[in-house]
Amino acid sequence: MNIRNVLPVLVVSLCSPYVDAQDVRVIAGLSMGYSNFEFAEKLDHNISFASASVPIAFTYQQWQASINLQTSLSDADISEEEDVGQASRKDADFTLGYRVDDNWSVFAGYKYGKTNMQFTPRDDEEESAVTTQESYAQKGPFVGVSYAWKFEKAGSLALSVAYADLRAINNFVANTDDDDEEIEELEFDDLSGRVTGDTHGFSYAISWTMPLSSQLLFQTRFKINDYQQDIEFNGTAFKDIDETFTSLQVGLAYVF
């Protein structure tokens, strides 16, 4: 098996579906890197995680099915106005794609992502600290398209864009502050409890895959999920609340 024939397959497992193999092939990999989560309406600052990703792809002729699992390797420290705590992140997606021609491919799939956080008030004694839990989850379908370039000695480069229509499931804890003023208008960071909504937006990715041996591949990917969330809570509508997740991963994959 010529590994250059399956290079686009790895590009797809990172970015979008694209195959050039006659038989069923399996490609599995492991990547490490950093991820960044931004939710300005709820968090005072971005959260950065060391993360790992495991892509597994199955290809046959023009078709490919892939699964990608990503998780934070350790909890990230977070600091809000009145609280400190830790955060973690998990993501999973399933993709089914079809190669249209030598460059273009289309794909669709289902994804799930969740950010978990634990908060402790700054002024609590360590032995009597009251910890609260907060989480932001999204799940639902996506569709997309990608374009790939193959280079004889430099591997493959691919760009992709996908649109996601997701359901948001949030477990909020209302922000605390030192002001005793009566709240006249409900603000987003005052929401508490289980709050659902609709999330929509685009993902953008660029990936590069290069052969190191007859079956071993080097891979790298940079991806941005740029989503907006719409929530209606007790008669108040919050529209286009920005939520962004970026990831840079570098690793290896093996073609079986």
Of 222, 137, 121, 130, the C-alpha closest to 176 is 121
DSSP 215: S
Chain centroid to Cα 179, Å, comes to: 36
State residue 17's pLDDT score: 36
State residue 190's pLDDT score: 86
Domain coverage including residue 146: 3-255
What are the tens digits of pLDDT across the range 28-57? 999 999 999 999 998 988 999 999 999 999
What are the tens digits of pLDDT across the range 117-145? 998 887 765 556 688 999 999 999 999 99
State residue 79's pLDDT score: 86
What are the tens digits of pLDDT across the range 189-205? 889 999 999 999 999 99
What are the tens digits of pLDDT across the range 221-248? 999 999 999 999 988 999 999 999 999 9
What are the tens digits of pLDDT across the range 69-119? 999 999 999 988 778 899 999 999 999 999 999 999 999 999 999 999 998
**Looking at the chain, which runs of residues are DSSP E strands?**
21-38, 47-61, 63-72, 76-79, 83-99, 104-121, 132-151, 155-172, 193-211, 216-233, 236-255
State residue 177's pLDDT score: 54
Q: Do 68 and 112 contact (CB within 8 A), yes or no?
A: no
* Residue 8 pLDDT greater than 50, yes or no: no
The whole-angstrom separation of Cα 121 and Cα 129 is 7
CATH of the domain at 45: 2.40.128
The whole-angstrom separation of Cα 158 and Cα 7 is 11
Mean per-residue pLDDT, 9-27: 56
The whole-angstrom separation of Cα 155 and Cα 206 is 14
Note the maximum CA span of the chain: 71
- Total domain count, the chain: 1
State residue 59's pLDDT score: 93
